[in-house]
Structure 1
Amino acid sequence: MEDFGEELIELPEYQVIHDLARNPDVSPTEAVQRLLQIREDLHQGQQEPLSEIDGNHTWNTMFLMVEFVNLTPAAQQRNLIDFIIQLQHVDEDPQKEYPPSDLQEWENRNAFMAQITAKADHLRHPMDVSLYALYSCRSAFEIDQLIEEAVRTACIWYIYAGQRVWENCQIKRVYGDDDDPPPRRRFNMKKWRLWKDGLKAAQREFPRESTQEMLRKALEEVEKAEAESGE
């Protein structure tokens, strides 16, 4: 059963992502246009800087996307995948597009969360937000088609908190309660190997120089973690 809590449900982005994920009659194109309208509405009469409004809007959208991906079987994820793809190909007119700078905001936030997770004294410390590493890697490597933006976010977690990802997989960390509906939110070594294969597959898939650099650094951290444990 989906239980997002009142705070998430009240976000203007929630209904767009909910309808995209749950209503087969809603097209990815329609969802993109609805999101752009939400952003335009948020801009009207607001005192905050536009960059802050856009950053929060992107964060909300991407967070909700991850949540719905986790609850959506692979066979039913086509709309979500096509939606992400369409976001990458909108006109660069700042009044019409979903701007690349917003995706940079998303990467920056994940880099921050990964770094505080790496600095936490131990797993399950309040600073440890490894759950977002799990979400990022699942979204990148446990779907039928690799999405470059999702892969880049997963790379960030390996680059800044690769050892933490390894530790979580080693201890087979599980989130939630025993009676939570499947799929359970868990790390394990099977996932570690699956995600590693996903990083290698992404190297063949995405030629962009900055993405290749992120993949190279991520795989270096993977190999470093394995070497230090004697794997």
Structure 2
Amino acid sequence: MEEYDPDLVPTQEFKILHNLVTDPDASAADAVQQVLDLTTTEILSKNDTPGSNFDSDVAWNICVLIIDIAANTAPTRQTKLLDFVSQIRKVTVADPRTGEKVGCGNFGYLWTDLHSFGMHAADMCNSFIHHHSHTPKDLEKWENSTAFIAQSTAAAAITRNGKPTHRMDFSIYGLYACRDAFEEENQYKSAVRTACLWFIYAAGSMLENCKIGRVYDLHDPPERGFDLDRWHAWKQGLVRTQAGYGDERTQELVRIALERIAQVEAERLN
């Protein structure tokens, strides 16, 4: 368990989520119920009613652990963890004593706003720097995390006006991944592989964002966002990399990414 925060390994939250991804018989629905039971116990343990600024250790731990466990879980085994996130965000938690919704200040309401999940996902995405000397383990954890965030985005709805309406939507990091891979002077293999994972697991969302020209108002004036010219340039960037890397794993990721691009273009570009 050395890959996890030693302070969280002894917690019930860790046992629930780690068991979810390691026990074939564990279900997302059961994990959700166990977390809701922990949440209710925590609420009732407080002397005062939570109000709108309840400081939930359970919610914080769960959101940290979702990201940490995803980083240590292969994409093919992340399905139940994604189901857990999708299911728990549909639950509104009420204080059993008052019937009022439980809020956590800037983190919104339990569990519909997913507490600090988005913040921890953003921290993970922003913490990785592309270079030429990643250890195999660091690269594996980064790619596991990227696959999870991309799959989360694929499970979220993209609105026609391009406004973010879903706490599982991390499309902006797909944009950054493709920018880093195909629009920077120095091209790193890790950046190309990251972009491939976004196309493999969230090509449909990426294309929808390009079709609606989604822009993020993070700067004034806003930086260039998604658009179809970029989509086609990214695709050509992938084609150019096919023969650029000798290792079979990178070539395989590029091949699969191009297959997914062709598939979603056939489905969604008229």
TM class by shorter chain equals: 0.5 to 0.7
2: distance between equivalents of 1:37 and 1:45?
Answer: 15
1: distance between equivalents of 2:187 and 2:60?
Answer: 30
Per the alignment, residue 215 of structure 2 pairs with: 217
Mapped pair 1:194 → 2:192 = no
Q: Which residue among 147, 154, 157 is the counterpart of 1:146?
A: 154
Give unmatched runs, 5+ long, in structure 1. 125-130, 173-186, 206-210
Asked if structure 1 preserves the Cα contact closer than 8 Å seen for 2:181 and 2:192, the reply is no
2: distance between equivalents of 1:68 and 1:191?
Answer: 19
CA drift at 1:134: 5.8
Per the alignment, residue 112 of structure 2 pairs with: 100
Cα RMSD (Å) of the superposition? 5.0
1: distance between equivalents of 2:74 and 2:168?
Answer: 19
Decide which moves more: 14-23 or 196-205.
196-205
Which amino acid in 2 is paired with 1:141? A
Q: Rg bigger for which structure? A: 2
Per the alignment, residue 24 of structure 2 pairs with: 24
Provide the TM-score with structure 1 as the length reference: 0.57
Partner deviation per Cα, 1:72-120 (whole Å, 9 max, x = no partner): 3444334323322322333x353489522334x43245557777x69xx
Residues 30-41 of structure 1 correspond to what in structure 2 (within 5 A)?
30-41=30-41
Change (3 A) 1:150 1:101: closer
- SS of the counterpart of 1:82? helix
Per the alignment, residue 9 of structure 1 pairs with: 9
Asked if structure 2 preserves the Cα contact closer than 8 Å seen for 1:114 and 1:157, the reply is yes
2: distance between equivalents of 1:215 and 1:94?
Answer: 39
Per the alignment, residue 208 of structure 1 pairs with: none
Change (3 A) 1:80 1:171: same
Q: Percent identity?
A: 19
1: distance between equivalents of 2:66 and 2:21?
Answer: 9
Per the alignment, residue 161 of structure 2 pairs with: none
CA drift at 1:142: 6.1
Residues 131-210 of structure 1 correspond to what in structure 2 (within 5 A)?
136-141=145-150, 146-148=154-156, 152-153=169-170, 155-157=171-173, 170-172=187-189, 187-196=190-199, 198-202=201-205
Per the alignment, residue 60 of structure 1 pairs with: 61
1: distance between equivalents of 2:60 and 2:213?
Answer: 23
2: distance between equivalents of 1:46 and 1:12?
Answer: 22
Change (3 A) 1:75 1:189: closer
CA drift at 1:36: 1.0
Change (3 A) 1:74 1:158: closer
Give unmatched runs, 5+ long, in structure 2. 102-109, 132-139, 157-165, 217-223, 238-270
2: distance between equivalents of 1:24 and 1:195?
Answer: 27
Asked if structure 2 preserves the Cα contact closer than 8 Å seen for 1:110 and 1:157, the reply is no
Change (3 A) 1:84 1:51: same
1: distance between equivalents of 2:172 and 2:141?
Answer: 11
Q: Which has the higher contact order (CA 8 A, sep 6+)?
A: 1
- SS of the counterpart of 1:8? coil
2: distance between equivalents of 1:100 and 1:214?
Answer: 27
2: distance between equivalents of 1:66 and 1:157?
Answer: 15
Residue-pair matches, total: 196
Partner deviation per Cα, 1:105-163 (whole Å, 9 max, x = no partner): 43245557777x69xxx879xxxxxx9986653213369x933268513x244578986
2: distance between equivalents of 1:196 and 1:160?
Answer: 13
